[in-house]
């Protein structure tokens, strides 16, 4: 099969690239290794970091690309790809917010995530599924109508130094296939669901138990495919890990994890039965390093039966069919059956079950509860704001075994601002583009060491567009990406 633009991976960057390339008149073919299209994008929260939007203005929020850039660079710990960060931020209003809206995406809500001076995490209606399906429909209408599921790319075909196609495995038919194209856009996502690769590329994590936590297709196949033709990867050791996660008891390999939500009132205790952190800071740049400093690097979230009513699980298996509302029967079964969830009528009993030193948990919970009961604004140990929080009081009590979960890659394939893959001399490899999480969301490491949230999917969509436009130009379609920046 031949195409002008061959896109490998049907997630956020892939669908955006398909819209862009087909919209410019290119013949597009998309390959997807899984049976279902959509990748991490379609199971994600869908939140995008967007700046200077009508939704922000409606809520009286004053934001600007300069303010967002300053937050971004500060939070990234000196490691952001700043040219790409600026390029992305300045294009979020016209080329992401409005662009997606014009293709059927409704931006319905806003949150302020850690590290942001103002709320800019925009939630689309029906989360990532709503967003991805709207964009997929837009891609079909633009003429990108060849989407081959269960087709895994295995290598790139080059001719005289130019990439001219892809070797793949048709997983349904069990046979090798080849595709020829003028340009190839790799959008295969990250490797946060490949524990072997995590330990290989992130040696500092080898001493810890890490859970796999992205989409099942996030196995790092694209990284190896690009490296095999000389593409450079960078910041591969930077992973975005979440702490509010427990092992998935349904995974016979014992490797996958589940993100637990809805228990913001819980306290976290370490293996000594002591609190060690302000639990309201639970993000990848706050909660995770705090737990990684513990021996061992895990903790138990302690909650009571009232708080337990709020538990939800960030995984499609735990959602009601066709929505992101939780399926409480499945969540209840998890709470009853997982060996990483313990329950007892007394705190002492709970403490014994999880092997904490005698008396430590009762003392820790008592001290925390008394801060709330005395009406303190903040707990004196870790500065947690206590307004609206309830004491941990109503039995049965629960303990959830939190282990670090790899959700997103912050590093990846190095590209220029056209998303061309660069070789070790930082020269573009002709005919080869990379976007999305494979490219550290954009350019190799747009987030540096920490992301402001919404800075994974947003840049993946945007870089997918940029790659699709320049790949189409290689085939004589259009003039590349020319976005309208949001500048005064």
Ligand X SMILES: Cc1cc2nc3c(=O)[nH]c(=O)nc-3n(C[C@H](O)[C@H](O)[C@H](O)COP(=O)(O)OP(=O)(O)OC[C@H]3O[C@@H](n4cnc5c(N)ncnc54)[C@H](O)[C@@H]3O)c2cc1C
The answer to whether 379 contacts ligand X (rule: CB under 6 A) is: no
CA distance 293 to 290: 5
State the DSSP H helix or E strand holding residue 68, giving kind and residue range, or none if neither. Answer: helix 65-75
State the DSSP H helix or E strand holding residue 302, giving kind and residue range, or none if neither. Answer: strand 299-303
- Scan residues 218-237 and list those touching ligand X (CB under 6 A): 218, 221-222
The answer to whether 258 contacts ligand X (rule: CB under 6 A) is: no
Q: Which of 273, 283, 314, 468 touches ligand X (CB under 6 A)?
A: 314
How far is residue 9 from each of residues 66, 152, 177, measured CA to CA in Å?
Answer: 33, 9, 16
Residue owning tokens 């003429």:
143
The answer to whether 165 contacts ligand X (rule: CB under 6 A) is: no
The answer to whether 437 contacts ligand X (rule: CB under 6 A) is: yes
Give the nearest distance from C-beta 14 to ligand X in angstroms. Answer: 5
Give the nearest distance from C-beta 240 to ligand X in angstroms. Answer: 8
The answer to whether 34 contacts ligand X (rule: CB under 6 A) is: yes
Give the nearest distance from C-beta 408 to ligand X in angstroms. Answer: 5
Stretch that binds ligand X, among 38-46, 228-236, 355-363, 389-397 (CB under 6 A): 38-46
The answer to whether 14 contacts ligand X (rule: CB under 6 A) is: yes
The answer to whether 45 contacts ligand X (rule: CB under 6 A) is: yes
The answer to whether 448 contacts ligand X (rule: CB under 6 A) is: no
Give the nearest distance from C-beta 372 to ligand X in angstroms. Answer: 31
Secondary structure (DSSP) of 186-252? E----STT-HHHHHHH-GGGTTS--EE-S-TT-SSHHHHHHHHTT--EE-TT-EEEESSEEE-TT-T
Output phi, psi for 325, to 5 deg.
-70, 145
| Minimum CB distance to ligand X smaller for 361 or for 403 | 403
R_g of the chain, CA atoms, integer Å: 23
Cβ pair 453, 76 in contact under 8 A: no
CA distance 142 to 156: 26
Pair of tokens at residue 388: 């609206």
The answer to whether 408 contacts ligand X (rule: CB under 6 A) is: yes
Cβ pair 271, 356 in contact under 8 A: yes
Give the nearest distance from C-beta 166 to ligand X in angstroms. Answer: 8
Work out the angle at residue 267's Cα, subtended by the Cα atoms of residues 261 and 270, and round it to the nearest 5 degrees: 110
The answer to whether 65 contacts ligand X (rule: CB under 6 A) is: no
Pair of tokens at residue 50: 């967007």
| Minimum CB distance to ligand X smaller for 92 or for 270 | 92
The answer to whether 411 contacts ligand X (rule: CB under 6 A) is: no
CA distance 74 to 85: 12
Rounded to 10°, the helix 457-474/82-90 angle is 90
| Minimum CB distance to ligand X smaller for 212 or for 298 | 212
| Minimum CB distance to ligand X smaller for 210 or for 457 | 457
The answer to whether 468 contacts ligand X (rule: CB under 6 A) is: no
Query: 127-136: buried (b, 16+ CB within 10 Å) or exposed (e) per residue?
Result: bbbbbbbbbb
Compute the Cα dihedral for 180, 186, 187, 192 and give only its sign. Answer: positive
The answer to whether 8 contacts ligand X (rule: CB under 6 A) is: yes
The answer to whether 10 contacts ligand X (rule: CB under 6 A) is: yes
Q: Are strands 162-170 and 175-186 parallel, antiparallel or unpaired?
A: antiparallel
Residues facing residue 301 across a β-bridge: 268, 400
Task: Count other Cβ atoms within 10 Å, centred on residue 171.
Answer: 14
Task: Count other Cβ atoms within 10 Å, centred on residue 14.
Answer: 37
Give the nearest distance from C-beta 214 to ligand X in angstroms. Answer: 4
| Minimum CB distance to ligand X smaller for 221 or for 340 | 221
CA distance 292 to 103: 42
The answer to whether 248 contacts ligand X (rule: CB under 6 A) is: no
The answer to whether 188 contacts ligand X (rule: CB under 6 A) is: yes
The answer to whether 282 contacts ligand X (rule: CB under 6 A) is: no
Pair of tokens at residue 201: 């590329």
Q: Which of 53, 116, 187, 486 touches ligand X (CB under 6 A)?
A: 187
Q: Distance between the two ends of the chain, CA-based, in angstroms?
A: 47
The answer to whether 412 contacts ligand X (rule: CB under 6 A) is: no
Secondary structure (DSSP) of 391-419? PS-SSSEEEEEE--EEEEES-EE-B-TT-
The answer to whether 11 contacts ligand X (rule: CB under 6 A) is: yes
The answer to whether 244 contacts ligand X (rule: CB under 6 A) is: no
| Minimum CB distance to ligand X smaller for 189 or for 478 | 189
| Minimum CB distance to ligand X smaller for 76 or for 347 | 76
Stretch that binds ligand X, among 64-72, 97-105, 182-190, 274-282 (CB under 6 A): 182-190
| Minimum CB distance to ligand X smaller for 125 or for 348 | 125
- Scan residues 132-161 and list those touching ligand X (CB under 6 A): 152-153
The answer to whether 13 contacts ligand X (rule: CB under 6 A) is: yes
Pair of tokens at residue 156: 């790139």
Stretch that binds ligand X, among 212-220, 290-298, 376-384, 477-485 (CB under 6 A): 212-220
List residues near ligand X by CB under 6 A: 8-14, 31-34, 39-41, 43-47, 152-153, 187-189, 214-215, 217-218, 221-222, 314, 407-408, 436-438, 454-458, 460
């Amino acid at each position: 099969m031949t195409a002008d633009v061959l896109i490998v991976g049907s997630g956020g960057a892939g669908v955006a690239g398909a819209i862009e390339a087909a919209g410019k008149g290119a013949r597009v073919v998309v390959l997807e290794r899984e049976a279902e299209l959509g990748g991490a994008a379609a199971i994600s929260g869908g939140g995008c970091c967007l700046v200077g939007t009508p939704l922000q203005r409606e809520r009286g929020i004053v934001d600007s690309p300069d303010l967002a850039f300053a937050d971004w660079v500060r939070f990234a710990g000196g490691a952001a790809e700043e040219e790409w960060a600026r390029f992305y931020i300045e294009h979020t209003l016209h080329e992401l917010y409005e662009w997606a809206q014009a293709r059927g995406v409704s931006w319905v809500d806003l949150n302020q995530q850690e590290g942001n001076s103002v709320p800019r995490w925009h939630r689309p209606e029906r989360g990532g599924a709503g967003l991805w399906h709207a964009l997929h429909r837009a891609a079909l209408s633009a003429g990108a109508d060849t989407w081959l599921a269960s087709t895994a790319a295995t290598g790139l075909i080059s001719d005289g130094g130019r990439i001219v196609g892809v070797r793949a495995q048709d997983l349904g038919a069990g046979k090798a296939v080849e595709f020829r194209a003028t340009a190839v856009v790799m959008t295969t996502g990250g490797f946060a669901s490949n524990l072997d690769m995590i330990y290989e590329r992130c040696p500092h994590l080898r001493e810890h138990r890490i859970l796999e936590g992205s989409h099942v297709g996030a196995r790092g196949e694209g990284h190896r495919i690009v490296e095999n033709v000389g593409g450079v990867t960078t910041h591969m050791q930077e992973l975005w890990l979440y702490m509010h996660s427990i092992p998935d008891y349904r995974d016979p390999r014992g490797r996958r994890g589940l993100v637990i939500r809805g228990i913001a009132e819980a306290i976290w205790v370490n293996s000594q039965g002591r609190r060690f952190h302000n639990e309201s800071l639970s993000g990848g740049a706050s909660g995770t390093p705090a737990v990684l400093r513990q021996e061992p690097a895990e903790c138990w979230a302690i909650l009571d039966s009232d708080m337990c009513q709020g538990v939800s699980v960030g995984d499609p298996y735990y959602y009601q069919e066709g929505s992101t509302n939780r399926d409480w029967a499945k969540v209840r079964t998890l709470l009853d059956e997982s060996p990483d969830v313990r329950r007892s009528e007394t705190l002492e009993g709970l403490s014994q079950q999880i092997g904490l030193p005698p008396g430590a948990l009762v003392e820790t919970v008592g001290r925390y509860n008394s801060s709330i009961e005395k009406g303190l604004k903040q707990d004196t140990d870790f500065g947690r704001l206590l307004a609206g929080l309830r004491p941990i009081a109503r039995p049965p009590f629960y303990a959830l075994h939190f282990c670090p979960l790899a959700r997103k890659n912050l590093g990846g394939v190095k590209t220029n601002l056209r998303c061309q893959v660069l070789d070790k001399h930082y020269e573009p490899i002709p005919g080869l583009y990379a976007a999305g999480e494979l490219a550290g969301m954009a350019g190799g490491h747009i987030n540096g060491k920490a992301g402001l949230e919404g800075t994974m999917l947003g840049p993946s969509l945007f870089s997918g567009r940029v790659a699709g436009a320049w790949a189409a130009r290689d085939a004589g379609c259009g003039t590349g990406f020319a976005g309208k920046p949001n500048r005064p």
